[in-house]
């Protein structure tokens, strides 16, 4: 077996806005097909980390490797090709407001594939059905609710069957039932298409039930506190903040037997 390279590896990443350092020395790997959660208090830099991984922002220091290749060192052509393999759901949905939902999803398909109108219409209808918006093709983003926008944006993120899906708080603003459906959908997509899912979320139930790996960003030390399966971290993490977070902010006793995290 050749030496194993994870799909994404983050090496010594320091993120900063100007001279204001948000997080420093992040190190973690993400394997293909994983559902990887980014956890942390609000304002700790989760969205910023996502922006770095998508390539919208240059690291202040360190590197992000995709299949062992540095993202930031590659040419703009390569970056574009790489970015095409991404699907991104932004925190504020970011649907194009002058296009209908159908057009929002069809636009990337028209741009990047040679499919016929008919096929594209099928795919649009399928993606909208997946997120529970079947029949809303002709609506404009301004005519639907915030939660529906989120779901439509998710459908758009999945338009090109990306290999890596990035979600910034997908279930914020969704009712519990829809939110659960979304979890199912994420698991389903990740399983059936071997899609890697990287998600920022605060929803503990969904976090604990779907994420297979996670990183906890600590705002007080400005670096990562722990990496690992959230279910394990919840019980056994050495760091009290992490356990407190994962136990809904309740005070927690020291773990009975500590496990390396």
Partner 1 sequence: MTQESTKPVSPTLELRPSGEDSFVLIAKGTWTINQQRPSLKETLSDVDDLPAGSSLTIDTTKSQRYDSSLTSLLLRVARTAADKDLKLDYKTDTDSGIAKLIDLALSVPLSKDDGHHETENDFFSRVGEATIELYDNLLDSVTFIGEAIFSMIRFATGRARFRSTDLWLTIQNCGAEALPIVTLISFLIGTILAFVGKAQLDAFGASIYVADLVAIAMVREMGCVMTGIIMSGRTGAAFAAQIGSMKVTQEVDALRTFGFNPFDYLVLPRMIALIVMMPLLTIYANLVGIVGGLLVSWASGIQPLAYINETISVLNLTQLSLGVIKSVFFGIVIAGAGCLRGLQSGNSSSAVGTAATRAVVTSITMIIVIDSFFAVVFTIFDI
Q: Can you give the binding site for partner 1, defined by CB under 8 A? A: 97-98, 100, 109, 113-116, 119, 122-123, 125-127, 129-130, 132-143, 158, 160-161, 163, 181, 184-185, 188-189, 191-195
- Please give the C-alpha separations between residue 224 and each of 27, 52, 63, 69, 247, in angstroms, as whole numbers: 8, 15, 16, 23, 18
- Residue 173 binds Mg ion (CB under 5 A): no
- Residue 57 binds Mg ion (CB under 5 A): no
- Residue 101 binds ligand ADP (CB under 6 A): no
Tokens standing for residue 78: 């390569």
CA neighbor of 210 nearest in space, from 236, 224, 190:
190
Closest to ligand ADP by CB, 40 vs 189, is 40
- Residue 47 binds Mg ion (CB under 5 A): yes
Closest CB 142 distance from Mg ion, rounded Å: 23
Closest CB 95 distance from partner 1, rounded Å: 9
Among 9, 35, 39, 45, binds ligand ADP (CB under 6 A): 45
3-state secondary structure 15-83: EEECCEEEEEEEEEEECCCCEEEEEECCCCCHHHHHHHHHCCCCCCEEEEEECCEECCCCCHHHHHHHH
Closest CB 137 distance from partner 1, rounded Å: 7
CA neighbor of 166 nearest in space, from 65, 45, 49, 67:
49
Closest to ligand ADP by CB, 45 vs 162, is 45
Q: Which residues touch 248 (CB under 8 Å, ≥6 apart)?
A: 204
Closest to ligand ADP by CB, 19 vs 116, is 19
- List contacts with ligand ADP (CB under 6 A): 17, 22, 40, 42-48
């Amino acid at each position: 077996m050749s030496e194993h390279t994870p799909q994404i590896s983050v090496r010594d990443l320091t993120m900063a806005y100007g001279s204001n350092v948000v997080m420093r020395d992040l190190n973690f790997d993400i394997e293909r097909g994983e559902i990887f959660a980014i956890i942390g208090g609000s304002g700790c830099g989760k969205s910023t980390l996502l922006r770095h991984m998508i390539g919208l922002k240059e690291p202040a220091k360190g590197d992000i490797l995709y299949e062992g290749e540095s993202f930031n060192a590659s040419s703009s052509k390569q970056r574009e090709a790489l970015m095409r393999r991404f699907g991104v759901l932004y925190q504020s949905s970011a649907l194009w407001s002058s296009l209908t939902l159908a057009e929002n999803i069809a636009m990337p398909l028209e741009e990047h594939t040679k499919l016929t109108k008919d096929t594209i219409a099928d795919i649009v209808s399928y993606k909208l059905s997946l997120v529970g918006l079947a029949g809303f093709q002709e609506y404009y983003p301004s005519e639907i609710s915030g939660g529906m926008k989120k779901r439509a944006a998710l459908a758009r993120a999945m338009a090109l069957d990306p290999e890596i899906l990035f979600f910034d708080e997908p279930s914020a603003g969704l009712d519990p039932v829809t939110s659960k459906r979304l979890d199912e959908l994420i698991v389903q997509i990740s399983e059936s298409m071997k899609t890697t899912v990287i998600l920022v979320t605060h929803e503990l139930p969904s976090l604990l039930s779907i994420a297979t790996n996670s990183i906890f960003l600590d705002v007080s030390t400005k670096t990562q506190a722990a990496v690992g399966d959230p279910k394990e971290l919840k019980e056994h993490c050495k760091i009290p903040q992490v356990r407190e977070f994962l136990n809904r902010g309740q005070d927690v006793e020291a773990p009975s037997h500590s496990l390396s995290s």
